[in-house]
Structure formats: structure tokens, C-alpha cells
């Protein structure tokens, strides 16, 4: 069977060269006589893998030395709790912007650990754009200010970061990590589930400024304690060994085959442009996100007729374009076009949409 173009919001496609390399190394990783899945995380051979993953992440993202990189488990959803447990320790206040379902979940979870304030929301417009901000709503004594940089379900992205002054900016970057360069020094903390742009599910990356690593709130489980995880170089317990190994291969793919994050961004912008240009000229399909908030990772669109949407999803699946059904809260379709989606995948999808339009408009 030939491979399909998988437009899933995550877990999603991985670069073919990464899959081939992992497969070639499956039975005997670098002469160790075993696969990465089978080896001790305390072995010398695995130590080189986890250290290599971290150093390549630092190199590719340009992470300053005063930031710690943590390889954790529990998904981005665990960070909805871990962030307040570790950072909401002074004023016990935190500001949140509600730009979609995940940021709302983060806000609700955070509210269990302190005084969280929703300083802006675009819920009334079904999160079709990044909310406009009123700086007077921001609390200067908040322990942090939380945003979700790319809203996977709605297909929106922050193009300009909020100015939070001295208050550390915390961002969920699950669906845009490694999609383009990011100025890490503008953030106090970044976190991401790996299963979209980095690796298979099971790995969560946290990048945190060292001075924010203090004593967490009382009762914080050891596994959620950033300081403990940092002191143990993400090896307090058994780390997600296999996803960390794939993460290393994906980073090497970005660095060596793509040519770094600037090139990755150029490729992603070109891909997204092909799809958005078609949506803007289509007589049948219409993009859901406000043009100034459009994500280059997730594009949401509808025909306006739920039956026709369902027909499109059915026919596109049969043609080898899978997982295009939109999230239930938006309906319609969503094409997640993460890093590993080849440009030909998007071009072929647009050809298919054009044909569908001709037959159904």
C-alpha cells in the first residue's frame, strides 16, 4: 500500500527520511545490537541520544544558555497544571488569554492552583481570531501571562506577541514548535506536546528560564517539579526514550535536510499560501479563520453545507487525503499541514478540492 497524505492534527506525519533511518536502525542501533526501544536509559549509548536531542534542539531553536530544556511525559495537558504549580508561587495570580479550547482548558486547570484571570477571549466569535487585548486588564504582579501561540482546532496563530513587561510570558507551542524561528528569550516558559512537529506521542518538551525554577507550590508531585527534573537532566525516572530518539532524528532532518528554521518557515508559508490562495478564490470552500490570524500549520474551512462537507471528507479519504474532518467544535474541514507534510501533499489536496468544486458547486 502506498502512503497517504495525513492531514491529522496530531499525531501526524513524520518525515519519510526519519522513518527510514529509524527503521534501518531498528534491530541494531549503532552497533549496540539492540533497538533504542530496548536499551537502558542509563546506558552510555542512550545518554548520547538524549544529550544529542537536547543539544540539537538548542542549536535549531537558538535556545539561550540560561534556559533549561526538559523532556517530560503527560502531554501538553499536564503542563496546564505543572505551569501553575511551578510558577504561580509569588502573588499566586496569573493572566490567561482565551483564544481556543486548549487555552481555555489551561485557564480552567490553572484556576485550581491560584487566582487566574481571563484577560481577553474570542469565544463569542467561536475563536475565529486572536482576541484583541486591553493592556489595562493585565496584572503587573501576575506570576505569569499565558497564551496558546497556535490554536490547533481553529487554525489561528498569534502574529504579534503581547507586551507583558516584567511578567514572564508562557506559551503553549504544541502545534507550532519548530515551524518557524521563535525568539525564546521573549518567553519565560514554552511547552509543547511532541506529536505534531517533533516526534510520536509520549514526549512533552518544556523550555524554561532558569531564574523561574524555584520551589513549587506545596503538594506538587515530584514528577511535576521542574527543578527536580532539571537537576536530574530529565532522568529522574525513565524518560520517553523512543520519542526522544525520534525527536533527535527530526531535529537533524530540520537542520541538515531542510536547512534550519528560516528555511522551514519559508517552506511552510509557501505550503499554506497554496491552500489559502485557493480558499480565497474558491466558489465552494471558505476559510474559517480571520485572514490576519491564519495559521500556517492548521487551516480550517467549510463549504457552508454540512452534507457537502461530509461528502468531501468521504471522497477525499477515498482519494488518499486522510483526517480532513474538522474538530467537532468548528465542523467542516481542517487540514493540518505540519512540517512533515510535503509541498506535493498540499498541491495535490488543492487539485482534489478544485475537482470537487467543479463537480459540486
For 23, 81, 127, 147, 320, the CA distances from 1, given in Å and listed in that order, are 17, 42, 39, 41, 11
Check residue 175 for interaction with ligand PLP (CB under 6 A).
Answer: yes
Is position 94 annotated in a ligand binding site? no
CB of 10 to ligand PLP, least distance (A): 5
Check residue 75 for interaction with ligand PLP (CB under 6 A).
Answer: yes
Check residue 174 for interaction with ligand PLP (CB under 6 A).
Answer: yes
CB of 141 to ligand PLP, least distance (A): 27
**Is-contact 322 7, C-beta < 8 A?**
yes
Which one of residues 193, 326, 332, 345 is an interface residue with ligand PLP (CB under 6 A)? 193
Check residue 102 for interaction with ligand PLP (CB under 6 A).
Answer: yes
- With a CB cutoff of 8 Å and minimum separation 6, the contacts of 129 are 122, 156, 289, 290, 292, 293
Is position 76 annotated in a ligand binding site? yes
Which one of residues 57, 61, 148, 341 is an interface residue with ligand PLP (CB under 6 A)? 148
Stretch of residues binding ligand PLP (CB under 6 A), selected from 121-129, 171-179, 205-213, 278-286: 171-179
Check residue 76 for interaction with ligand PLP (CB under 6 A).
Answer: yes
Is position 195 annotated in a ligand binding site? yes
Stretch of residues binding ligand PLP (CB under 6 A), selected from 82-90, 169-177, 230-238, 268-276: 169-177
Query: How far apart, in whole angstroms, are the C-alpha atoms of residue 247 and residue 54?
Result: 9
Which one of residues 86, 152, 156, 303 is an interface residue with ligand PLP (CB under 6 A)? 152
- Going by DSSP bridges, is the β-strand pair 5-6/321-322 parallel, antiparallel, or unpaired? parallel
Query: How far apart, in whole angstroms, are the C-alpha atoms of residue 45 and residue 31?
Result: 10
Check residue 122 for interaction with ligand PLP (CB under 6 A).
Answer: no
Query: How far apart, in whole angstroms, are the C-alpha atoms of residue 328 and residue 226?
Result: 34
Sequence length of the chain is 361
- DSSP assignment of 301-320 equals EE-S-HHHHHHHHHHHHHTT
Check residue 6 for interaction with ligand PLP (CB under 6 A).
Answer: no
Stretch of residues binding ligand PLP (CB under 6 A), selected from 74-82, 88-96, 112-120, 338-346: 74-82
Query: Which C-beta is closer to ligand PLP: that of 50 or that of 82?
Result: 82
Question: How crowded is residue 282: how many other Cβ atoms within 10 Å of its Cβ?
Answer: 17
CB of 71 to ligand PLP, least distance (A): 14
CB of 24 to ligand PLP, least distance (A): 28
Question: How crowded is residue 347: how many other Cβ atoms within 10 Å of its Cβ?
Answer: 14
Check residue 172 for interaction with ligand PLP (CB under 6 A).
Answer: yes
Q: Three-state DSSP class for 66?
A: coil
CB of 106 to ligand PLP, least distance (A): 8
Burial of 353 (0-12, 13-18, 19+ CB in 10 A): buried
Q: At what angle do helices 16-24 and 241-252 cross, to 10 degrees?
A: 130
- With a CB cutoff of 8 Å and minimum separation 6, the contacts of 101 are 127, 151, 153, 327, 329
Interface size with ligand PLP, residues (CB under 6 A): 12
Binding site residues, as ranges?
A: 42, 76-77, 102, 152, 172, 195, 237-238
Binding site for ligand PLP (CB under 6 A): 9-10, 75-77, 102, 148, 152, 172, 174-175, 193
Amino acid at each position: 500500500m502506498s502512503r497517504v497524505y495525513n492531514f491529522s492534527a496530531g499525531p501526524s506525519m513524520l518525515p519519510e527520511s526519519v522513518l527510514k533511518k529509524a527503521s534501518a536502525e531498528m534491530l541494531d542501533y549503532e552497533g549496540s545490537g539492540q533497538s533504542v526501544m530496548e536499551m537502558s536509559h542509563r546506558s552510555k549509548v542512550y545518554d548520547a541520544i538524549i544529550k544529542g536531542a537536547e543539544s540539537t534542539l538548542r542549536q535549531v531553536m537558538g535556545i539561550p544558555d540560561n534556559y533549561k530544556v526538559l523532556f517530560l511525559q503527560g502531554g501538553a495537558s499536564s503542563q496546564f497544571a505543572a505551569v501553575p504549580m511551578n510558577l504561580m508561587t509569588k502573588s499566586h495570580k496569573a493572566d490567561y488569554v482565551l483564544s481556543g479550547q486548549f487555552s481555555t482548558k489551561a485557564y480552567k486547570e490553572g484556576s485550581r492552583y491560584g487566582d487566574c484571570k481571563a484577560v481577553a477571549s474570542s469565544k463569542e466569535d467561536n475563536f475565529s481570531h486572536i482576541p484583541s487585548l486591553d493592556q489595562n486588564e493585565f496584572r503587573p504582579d501576575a506570576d505569569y501571562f499565558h497564551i496558546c501561540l497556535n490554536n490547533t482546532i481553529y487554525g489561528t496563530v498569534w502574529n504579534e506577541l503581547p507586551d507583558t513587561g516584567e511578567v514572564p510570558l508562557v506559551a503553549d507551542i504544541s502545534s507550532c514548535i519548530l515551524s518557524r524561528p521563535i525568539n525564546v528569550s521573549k518567553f519565560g516558559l514554552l511547552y509543547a506536546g511532541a506529536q505534531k512537529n517533533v516526534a510520536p506521542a509520549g514526549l512533552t518538551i518544556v523550555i524554561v528560564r532558569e531564574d523561574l525554577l524555584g520551589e513549587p507550590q506545596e503538594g506538587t508531585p515530584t514528577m511535576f517539579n521542574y527543578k527536580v527534573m532539571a537537576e536530574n537532566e530529565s532522568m529522574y525516572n525513565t524518560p520517553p526514550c523512543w520519542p526522544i530518539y525520534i525527536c533527535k532524528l527530526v531535529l537533524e532532518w530540520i537542520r541538515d535536510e531542510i536547512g534550519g528554521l528560516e528555511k522551514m518557515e519559508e517552506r511552510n508559508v509557501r505550503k499554506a499560501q497554496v491552500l489559502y490562495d485557493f480558499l480565497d478564490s474558491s466558489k465552494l470552500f471558505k476559510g474559517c479563520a480571520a485572514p490576519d490570524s491564519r495559521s500556517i500549520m492548521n487551516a480550517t474551512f467549510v463549504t457552508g453545507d454540512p452534507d457537502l462537507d461530509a461528502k468531501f471528507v468521504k471522497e477525499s479519504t477515498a482519494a488518499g487525503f486522510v483526517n480532513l474532518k474538522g474538530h467537532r467544535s468548528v465542523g467542516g474541514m481542517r487540514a493540518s499541514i505540519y512540517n512533515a507534510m510535503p509541498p506535493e501533499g498540499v498541491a495535490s489536496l488543492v487539485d482534489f478540492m478544485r475537482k470537487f468544486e467543479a463537480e459540486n458547486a
